[in-house]
Amino acid sequence: MNRIHHAIFFALASAVGTLASAQPKVYDNGPTITDPGAGFQGADASALQSQLGLQVLSLGCQVTQNNRLADDFTIEGCDSWLLNSFEFLAYQTGSGISESTFTSANVRIWDGEPGKPGSKIIWGDDKTNLLTSSTWSGIYRVTDMTLTVNQRPYFKNVCDLGGVLLQGPRTYWIDWQADGTIFSGPFVGAVSIKGETQKPGSNAVQYLGNQAQWVPAIDTGANKPAQDMPFKINYEYIPYDCYADCDANCKLDVDDFICFQTYYSIGDPYADCDGNLALNIDDFICFQTFFAVGC
């Protein structure tokens, strides 16, 4: 809990101070390159590791089939993320690398796992094209038996999220689909880690348009390991800084008044809201002011 609040009380500048402390960050859901530089003409290879028993080269997220991919990310504590953009790798078989064939992508954000009771979409839709760029990633999707095949060039597709503000503590899900000028795909291979059949804790899901349901994104090979999908989120990290949230539970309610009174009664410096080194009625007024401003 931040108790250094006195200086900003009279300016009531806490909201401004919070935004000023935002830091650019990248959430990366996992690697794709298994064999750096071992692909076609020295490109990086993202190989399906068939020698480990894996069988699924990629999963579809085709607009034309109404297939989608979804995976989760977690915001810890009471901190907030201001989401700027979403990046995903995908390929269309046989596209070449000189020019992207991708034409559109749509993205949604959920407050829980898609398809589960109680989960709902809190941002985005399945229509709006958010694709702002699509560039050759330098990575080919291949198998470990065919490392230098150049038929599946991964493109890095960037989608504008326009500053969605999400608060922790919560696990959110993001789902996406894409379209392009080639009939095949778009396809995405799972997060790939050399020597491993899965990223620990993998739990991605795929929406199958022809079944109208979400299903686990598992590999059908040995032991059917669950998979995660590669994606990145570029965001501004906004640390939580809220004096009035006395009990630090990420929200303001009557319990925070009780908490303040408790600190006041024991003479804790926290209760010296106006910072004049004395505890009196002015500190109650000060606290009420912070509370009214909110977090």
CA distance linking residue 94 with residue 109, whole number of Å: 31
Radius of gyration for the alpha carbons in the chain, expressed in angstroms and rounded: 24
CA distance linking residue 228 with residue 226, whole number of Å: 7
CA distance linking residue 76 with residue 203, whole number of Å: 18
Q: Match 């907030």 to its residue by tokens.
A: 80
- Minimum separation from the CB atom of position 278 to Ca ion (A): 5
Residue 121: HSE in the Cβ half-sphere, 13 Å Cα cutoff: 9
- Minimum separation from the CB atom of position 287 to Ca ion (A): 10
CA distance linking residue 45 with residue 152, whole number of Å: 10
Contact footprint for Ca ion (CB under 5 A)? 71-72, 203, 228, 245, 247, 249, 256, 272, 274, 276, 278, 283
Nearer to Ca ion, 5 or 156 (CB): 5
- Minimum separation from the CB atom of position 120 to Ca ion (A): 19
Nearer to Ca ion, 179 or 272 (CB): 272
Pairing, β 59-60 against β 187-188: antiparallel
CA distance linking residue 16 with residue 14, whole number of Å: 5
- Minimum separation from the CB atom of position 96 to Ca ion (A): 31
- Minimum separation from the CB atom of position 216 to Ca ion (A): 11
